[in-house]
Chains A and B, each alone.
Chain A
Amino acid sequence: MRPIRTALRTTAFRLALLYAGLFGASVLALLLFLYFASAGLIARQADETIEAEITGLAEHYRRRGLGGLVQVVIERAQRLPTSVYLLADPLRRPLAGNLDSWPEVGTGPEGWLEFSFEAATAEGRMTHRARARHLVLTGGFNLLVGRDIEELRLTVARITEALLWALALTAALALGGGLVMSRNALRRIEAINRTSREIMAGDLSRRVPLSGSGDELDELAANLNAMLAQIERLMTGLRQVTDNIAHDLRTPLSRMRARLEVALMQPAAAATYRQEIERTIAEAEALIATFNALLAIAEAEAGAEREAMERVDLAALVRDAADLYAPLAEEAGLAFSVRIAGEGELAVRGHRHLLSQALANLIDNAVKYTPRGGAVAVVAARGAAGIEVVVADTGPGIPEAERERVLGRFVRLEASRSTPGSGLGLSLAAAVAARHGARLRLEDNRPGLRAVLLFPPAPPAKALEGTPG
């Protein structure tokens, strides 16, 4: 039977077996103690009474002589049929007692011996076992006092039998319990396996059931569920980005196609065709730019390869980006300022190109959306909470309610088209920040937008290794 075989192979069963073994050994020890405390005690008490009696008879012999002793032995032999008495001469010929002859067994070291004899019982004469004490009296006479231990033997046998049954029952219970335990564990593992199979078959919403006991299996199941939730979140994100790409590329693509179709419909001068084609190319370029931005966000989200992480001087990156945009800002009639405080101590571990792009996007955004006469200020400095790069402008800003959404993983592009200053650039910057364990915060510059990239103090190398992605 396959399940049983499987059960025998499982860790749970092996553990159950081990517990059963330990349990069995404890019970065995307990039973042995009971045995010696019951059967052993009875035997010892029997021996003690025999010892006392034979000492008493020896005393009697000393005081009253052989005749007195014979009288007592005869009297007691008749009165106590379950006892054995025999007084014999130095040649062990019987003088008195209820044994016909001296038992043909040797005497043990302390004067004890066991032998069979013909006992007179209610059912007639029967062979019983006896245990007796042998004492040699002065004058060479031999005195034997014993007890019919047939009853005792039966009692001990009954006790032993009962204890053996108890032992067998214990073993059976332990084994059975172990099996049940392992079957129970197996059933729960099978539940996890079943869920896994269902998930692999495509149903990502499945979760492993918890037993509610809070044990290791529950912990495992909870962890699996957390992992599944994370995977589902990522999948949803992926679906969302696919939807966004589809939306944001389909619209301009159909516009492009319409433009070309209309151009083809009416015969026109070469110059007109040329113009239409040039417009179409410009549109294609915008399309490619959107596409690239979406991919860049996905790249930052999914995590650029860790090997590309290096020590990056933020001061230099900020200077480069500011340097690139300064002429543009001045051309746009903006007061553009750059301040880098703490030169040489603004290094982070990161991906140079992604960070450059994030910075360029923030500055690009600020320059693009700040009206003539405004100001754009870029500041990089080390603060209490870490390294801060701030890009502040005096543009229209972003309403507080919108800020969190604008930084969302894959912000809808409609929003970016209708709300100035909240393009894909910010989403990318946020994704890059997250990738570096940093945070992009949008604040009110009163008026304008203050974008703050905060890099917390360099985490220990291990923590950096642990960043997702």
Chain B
Amino acid sequence: MRDEESGTVRVLLIEDDREAAAYMARGLAEGGHVLAHAADGEEGLEMARAGGFDVLVVDRMLPGLDGLSLVRTLRAEGDATPVLFLSALGQVDDRVRGLRAGGDDYLVKPYAFAELLARIEALVRRRRPEQGTTRLVVGDLEMDLLAHRVTRAGVEIDLQPREFRLLQCLMRHAGQVVTRTMLLETVWDYHFDPQTNVIDVHISRLRAKIDRGFEVALLHTVRGAGYCLRAPD
């Protein structure tokens, strides 16, 4: 369904706030993505059933059918389209409930648009088969998941366990923006925002290990969004 050539993502947003939906449509269009909008749960379920979307962005609290029930219904019908929950309910337990209902990710309002975009892209990309992958490669950077070894241009790089997981997360999402929050969630399992930008220091250390002394940098900072590890064009 997804147009692999253009990279266009088709998003179904099920959200009763029309204005927020309009903003999101414009933001996604900037990135070359397409958004369809359903303003209540029942309409959303119908549209989702019709198919053709790469990702569903579902508000938890909807008129008609609530978000959790909607996703549960879809999952029960065998629909595996990735789901990103949007919610004003930000407690850890709410998050767990969302994921248990079949959601793939959970974003608390208010969120930065860059965060939403990064997560949507990560979700769509996640559909690619990953099981059985034992080696990640980005340019001349290689990671052997079994031997816990990282090399760049054949030279072994010594990484701390946490740095290894940080790099692994970035490599899995190579070419995509990974936000600080996503890194905190994946690498540290922290679902809150440490006030200080602790992640930045970790990234700069990692960058020193994988990029220093090489002509081409692989790890880039995306201003106002996060980081991106990508192979040179």
B158 at the interface (CB under 8 A from A): no
Q: Is the CB of A292 within 8 A of B196?
A: no
Q: Is the CB of B201 within 8 A of A331?
A: yes
Nearest chain B CB to A469's CB is how many angstroms away? 13
Q: For B196, list chain A residues within 8 Å (CB).
A: 328, 364, 367-368
Which of A308, A324, A325, A364 touches B92 (beta carbons < 8 Å)? A308
A40 at the interface (CB under 8 A from B): no
Which of A17-25, A79-87, A353-361 sits within the interface?
Answer: A353-361
A289 at the interface (CB under 8 A from B): yes
Q: How far is the CA of A120 from the CA of B72 in the complex (A)?
A: 112
Nearest chain A CB to B118's CB is how many angstroms away? 16
Q: Is the CB of B112 within 8 A of A285?
A: yes
Given the interface pairs A285-B112, A292-B90, A299-B91, the reply to whether A324 lies near B190 with Cβ below 8 Å is: yes
Which of B112, B190, B198 touches A356 (beta carbons < 8 Å)? B190
Q: How far is the CA of A335 from the CA of B106 in the complex (A)?
A: 37
Given the interface pairs A289-B193, A292-B193, A364-B196, the reply to whether A324 lies near B93 with Cβ below 8 Å is: no
B23 at the interface (CB under 8 A from A): no
Which of A295, A304, A323, A325 touches B93 (beta carbons < 8 Å)? A304
Given the interface pairs A295-B90, A308-B93, A328-B198, the reply to whether A360 lies near B190 with Cβ below 8 Å is: yes
Q: How far is the CA of A425 from the CA of B196 in the complex (A)?
A: 12
Minimal Cβ-Cβ distance residue in B for A287? B110
A110 at the interface (CB under 8 A from B): no
A327 at the interface (CB under 8 A from B): yes
Given the interface pairs A304-B93, A327-B205, the reply to whether A360 lies near B162 with Cβ below 8 Å is: no
B194 at the interface (CB under 8 A from A): yes
Interface flags for B20-43 (1: CB within 8 Å of A; 0: not) read 000000000000000000000000
Interface size class of A (residues with CB under 8 A): 20 to 34
Given the interface pairs A304-B92, A304-B93, the reply to whether A324 lies near B192 with Cβ below 8 Å is: no
Nearest chain B CB to A197's CB is how many angstroms away? 35
A288 at the interface (CB under 8 A from B): yes
Q: How far is the CA of A343 from the CA of B192 in the complex (A)?
A: 26
Q: Is the CB of B194 within 8 A of A324?
A: yes
Given the interface pairs A285-B112, A304-B91, A308-B92, the reply to whether A327 lies near B201 with Cβ below 8 Å is: yes
Minimal Cβ-Cβ distance residue in B for A278? B224
Q: How far is the CA of A305 from the CA of B89 in the complex (A)?
A: 14
Given the interface pairs A324-B190, A356-B190, the reply to whether A425 lies near B93 with Cβ below 8 Å is: no
Q: For A364, list chain B residues within 8 Å (CB).
A: 194-196, 198
Q: Is the CB of B188 within 8 A of A320?
A: yes
Q: Which residues of chain B (157-186) have a CB below 8 Å from chain A?
A: 162
Q: For B201, list chain A residues within 8 Å (CB).
A: 327-328, 331
Q: Is the CB of B202 within 8 A of A305?
A: no
Which of B191, B194, B205 touches A353 (beta carbons < 8 Å)? B191
Nearest chain B CB to A465's CB is how many angstroms away? 18
Q: For B112, list chain A residues within 8 Å (CB).
A: 285
Interface flags for A431-448 (1: CB within 8 Å of B; 0: not) read 000000000000000000
Q: For A320, list chain B residues within 8 Å (CB).
A: 188-189
Minimal Cβ-Cβ distance residue in B for A292? B193
Given the interface pairs A288-B110, A295-B90, the reply to whether A323 lies near B162 with Cβ below 8 Å is: yes
Nearest chain A CB to B98's CB is how many angstroms away? 14
Q: Is the CB of B92 within 8 A of A353?
A: yes
A143 at the interface (CB under 8 A from B): no
Choose among B162, B190, B196 the residue with the greatest number of A CB atoms under 10 Å from its CB: B196
Minimal Cβ-Cβ distance residue in B for A308? B93
Q: Is the CB of B192 within 8 A of A353?
A: yes
Minimal Cβ-Cβ distance residue in A for B113? A281
Q: Which residues of chain A (319-335) have a CB below 8 Å from chain B?
A: 320, 323-325, 327-328, 331
Q: How far is the CA of A353 from the CA of B94 in the complex (A)?
A: 13
Q: Is the CB of B188 within 8 A of A324?
A: yes
Which of B92, B190, B195 touches A289 (beta carbons < 8 Å)? B195
A296 at the interface (CB under 8 A from B): yes
Minimal Cβ-Cβ distance residue in A for B162? A323
Nearest chain A CB to B194's CB is how many angstroms away? 5
Minimal Cβ-Cβ distance residue in B for A329? B201
Q: How far is the CA of A288 from the CA of B115 in the complex (A)?
A: 14
Minimal Cβ-Cβ distance residue in A for B160? A323
Q: For A288, list chain B residues within 8 Å (CB).
A: 110
Which of A284, A304, A327 touches B202 (beta carbons < 8 Å)? A327
Q: For A425, list chain B residues within 8 Å (CB).
A: 195
Interface flags for A335-370 (1: CB within 8 Å of B; 0: not) read 000000000000000010110110010001001100
Given the interface pairs A304-B93, A320-B188, A324-B188, the reply to whether A360 lies near B205 with Cβ below 8 Å is: no
Q: Is the CB of A360 within 8 A of B90?
A: no
Q: Which residues of chain A (290-309) have a CB below 8 Å from chain B?
A: 292, 295-296, 299, 304-305, 307-308
Interface flags for A384-398 (1: CB within 8 Å of B; 0: not) read 000000000000000
Q: For A367, list chain B residues within 8 Å (CB).
A: 196
Choose among B92, B93, B110 the residue with the greatest number of A CB atoms under 10 Å from its CB: B92
Q: For A284, list chain B residues within 8 Å (CB).
A: 110
Q: For B191, list chain A residues within 8 Å (CB).
A: 353
Nearest chain B CB to A444's CB is how many angstroms away? 24
Q: How far is the CA of A288 from the CA of B111 in the complex (A)?
A: 9
Q: How far is the CA of A356 from the CA of B92 in the complex (A)?
A: 12
Interface flags for A188-224 (1: CB within 8 Å of B; 0: not) read 0000000000000000000000000000000000000
Give me 21 A-to-B residue pairs in the complex whose CB atoms sit less than 8 angstroms apart, sorted by A's number: A284-B110, A289-B193, A295-B90, A296-B192, A304-B92, A304-B93, A305-B93, A320-B189, A324-B202, A328-B198, A351-B92, A353-B190, A353-B191, A353-B192, A356-B192, A360-B190, A360-B194, A364-B194, A364-B196, A368-B196, A425-B195
Q: A327-B205, A328-B198 are in contact. List 5 more A-B contacts (CB 8 A).
A: A307-B93, A320-B188, A324-B194, A357-B190, A360-B194
The interface of chain B, by Cβ under 8 A from chain A, is 90-93, 96, 110, 112, 162, 188-196, 198, 201-202, 205
The interface of chain A, by Cβ under 8 A from chain B, is 284-285, 288-289, 292, 295-296, 299, 304-305, 307-308, 320, 323-325, 327-328, 331, 351, 353-354, 356-357, 360, 364, 367-368, 423, 425
Cβ-closest 7 pairs across A and B: A327-B201, A353-B92, A328-B201, A357-B192, A305-B93, A328-B198, A331-B201
